[in-house]
Amino acid sequence: MKAMLSAFAAAIIIAVGASLILEEVGLSSENTASGPAVRLD
């Protein structure tokens, strides 16, 4: 069961990590599909 639970944890860590990394390297949709003339918030 340890392998199963650590896989579940890894899936969550990878998801959060992917989000942070993509945001960090400037690949958020805000960065790629919008310009300075667009107000999103």
User: Which of 3, 25, 39, 40: binder of other proteins (CB under 8 A)?
Assistant: 3
Report the nearest approach of other proteins to the CB of residue 26 (Å). 12
Angstrom distance (rounded) from CA 12 to CA 37: 35
Tell me the three state secondary structure of residue 34: coil
User: Which of 24, 33, 39, 41: binder of other proteins (CB under 8 A)?
Assistant: 33
Residues 9-21: b if buried by 16+ CB within 10 A, e if exposed: eeeeeeeeeeeee
Query: Would you tell me which residues interact with other proteins (CB under 8 A)?
Result: 1-4, 6-8, 10-12, 14-19, 27, 29, 32-35, 37-38
